[in-house]
Amino acid sequence: MTPEFDRALDAYAELIIKVGLNLRAGQRLIIRAPLESAPLVRRVAAHAYDGGARLVEALWNDPQMALVRFTHAPDDSFTEHSTWPLQAGLEYAENGHAYLSIGGVDPDLLKDVDPARLATVQRTEGRLYAPLSRLISGDAVNWCVVGYATPGWAARVFPDSSPDEQQKRLWDAIFKTVRLDAPDPVAAWQAHVDDLAARTAYLNDKQYHALHFRGPGTDLTVGLPDNHRWLGGAAPTGNGITNIANVPTEEVFTAPHRNRVDGVVTASMPLSYGGNLVENFSLTFEGGRVVALRAEKGEALLRSLVETDEGSARLGEVALVPASSPISKLGILFYNTLYDENAASHVALGRAYRNCIANCEELDDDAFAGRGGNTSNTHVDFMIGSPQMDVDGLMEDGTAEALMRAGEWV
């Protein structure tokens, strides 16, 4: 580790605390992270304590242990899951404390695992973690998701480089995506957040009835609920702290109407899901539900995702990202949703964010569905945008207004 890299990693940790989480004095912080990310976790903890945190704890995970389980555990054991990590997360969230998730798993780690086993574990974890997921995704507390350049992930992104060069190149890319190359990263983030706020204000004022996406293999109409809310960048949370949930972020997003999605959509990037890849795939929707799908690779895994529960066959998010976003300009396929979703417009199968429809935060599932919101134990983004994508905003009378042309805001 060079002194230059050490300084950059420390600046990254400071940005996570001050910009992403906006951690306040007196809060606790829980960090869910892979073992390999310990150097970043320790720096995050130091900056948290320097900012007045009362306690910082880590919930470590080891992706290789998951591979061991899938390879050696008995066939009838994959519905079993411990509840103590969930209880730890709930204790933090229910008491107004902060939650940080660090990702960076090798996207090909589980490529040879039986898709049925993968699907069983995904469904089990989705059901188990649903209460915590709803609190976090509903912005009950300040939370943030960031990345760490693990060797396995770096090898997938830069397979033609040496191992040392792979990690260096991935770290360089990550630091650029979070604006650490700016003279004043915090000021750069403030300007960026202001721009996203202007986008959301415009879209919220318009209150389009639907969005129409047209591009290679895509002709999709996504209905929008009455009184939907566009969000992006900084957002207020239930504990009164404004945070930036994804670092990096380039999107503005809202909730689709669960019953008004029709047409075909083709993914513009592979989907990394459950330690495996789904590639060259498309979905057909009628009345809000997936009625057909195909994939050149990972079709069984994609089908298991759609069949997770009743809501997983419907959309829970639609997001707009210009094709010229800083992440897109890097020209890198990250095989990681946090980064790839900020290089292209995207949609998500599964759970909708309740704060994306006005006055829905306290509704039960049936009442939320009555407002057009989707409920599911899963939420999985996949990318559909490209420099060939056009997007129109549709008024209730069918009038179309250009929002994006050739992937760019008009």
Query: What's the angle, vertex CA 244, arms to CA 136 and CA 121, rounded to 5?
Result: 35
* pLDDT the model gives residue 218: 98
Neighbours of 242 (CB within 10 A): 13
Q: 3-state secondary structure string, the chain?
A: CCHHHHHHHHHHHHHHHHHHHCCCCCCEEEEEEEHHHHHHHHHHHHHHHHCCCCEEEEEEECHHHHHHHHHHCCHHHCCCCCCHHHHHHHHHHHCCCEEEEEECCCCCCCCCCCHHHHHHHHHHHHHHCHHHHHHHHCCCCCEEEEECCCHHHHHHHCCCCCHHHHHHHHHHHHHHHCCCCCCCHHHHHHHHHHHHHHHHHHHHHHCCCEEEEEECCEEEEEECCCCECCECCEEECCCCCEEECECCCCCEEECCCCCCEEEEEECCCCEEECCEEEEEEEEEEECCEEEEEEEEECHHHHHHHHCCCHHHHCEEEEEECCCCCHHHHCCCCCCCHHHHCCCCCEEEEECCCHHHECCCCCCCHHHHHHCCCCCCCCEEEEECCCCCCEEEEECCCCCEEEEEECCEEC
Please tell me the distance from the alpha carbon of residue 150 to that of residue 399, in angstroms, as a whole number.
Answer: 48
Asked whether residue 243 is assigned to any structural domain, the reply reads: no
Kindly report the CATH number assigned to the domain that includes residue 145. Answer: 3.40.1830.10
Rounded average pLDDT over 238-252: 93
pLDDT at position 116 over 80:
yes
198 and 64 within one domain: no
Q: Residue 58 — pLDDT band, cuts 50, 70, 90?
A: very high
Residue 77 has pLDDT above 80, yes or no: yes
Q: Is there a single domain that holds both residue 111 and residue 255?
A: no
- What integer best gives the mean pLDDT of the chain? 94
This prediction has a pTM of: 0.87
User: Which domain does 168 fall in, by range?
Assistant: 3-177
Is 379 found in the same domain as 301? yes
Tens-digit pLDDT profile for residues 314-344: 999 999 999 999 999 999 989 998 999 899 9
Of all residues in the chain, what percent carry a pLDDT higher than 90?
82
Residues 284, 368, single domain; the answer is yes
117-149 pLDDT, tens digit each: 988 998 899 889 889 888 888 888 999 999 999
Same domain, 169 and 267: no
Q: Are 15 and 180 in contact (CB under 8 A)?
A: yes
Binned at pLDDT 50, 70 and 90, residue 164 comes out as confident
Domains contained in the chain, number: 2
218 and 324 belong to one structural domain: yes
pLDDT, average across residues 265-288: 92
Residues 207 and 171 in one domain: no
Q: Is residue 319 part of a domain?
A: yes
Instruction: Examine residue 80 and state whether it is found in any structural domain, yes or no.
Output: yes
Residue 244 lies in a domain: no
Residues 81, 133: one domain?
yes
Show Cβ contacts of residue 371 under 8 Å, excluding neighbours closer than 6 positions.
225, 226, 357, 360, 363
Same domain, 152 and 213: no
Q: Is 236 part of any domain? A: no
Considering the chain, what percentage of its residues have pLDDT values greater than 70?
A: 100
| 245-254 mean pLDDT | 95
**CA 180 to chain CA centroid, nearest Å:** 21
- pLDDT tens for each residue of 366-407: 999 999 999 998 999 999 999 999 999 999 998 999 999 999
Residue that terminates a domain, selected from 177, 206, 240: 177
Q: 276-286 and 315-320: which strand pairing?
A: unpaired
- Clarify whether residues 296 and 405 are in a common domain: yes
Asked whether residue 300 is domain-assigned, the answer is yes
- Check pLDDT > 90 for residue 108: no
What's the average model confidence in pLDDT over 26-51?
97
**390 Cβ contact list (under 8 Å, min separation 6):** 213, 214, 215, 402, 404, 405, 406
What is the spatial distance between Cα 356 and Cα 372, in angstroms, rounded to a whole number? 11
- Residue that is last in its domain, among 148, 177, 206: 177
Q: 293-302 pLDDT, tens per residue?
A: 999 999 999 9
Q: Does residue 139 share a domain with residue 26?
A: yes
Distance separating the N- and C-terminal Cα atoms of the chain: 44
* β-strand partners of 357: 228
Residues 36 and 155 in one domain: yes
Q: Give the least confident one: 164-168, 170-174, 240-244, 359-363.
A: 359-363
**pLDDT digit string, tens, across residues 214-234:** 999 999 999 999 999 999 988
- 68 inside domain: yes
Q: Please report whether residue 119 resides in a domain.
A: yes
Distance of CA 282 to the CA centre of its chain: 20
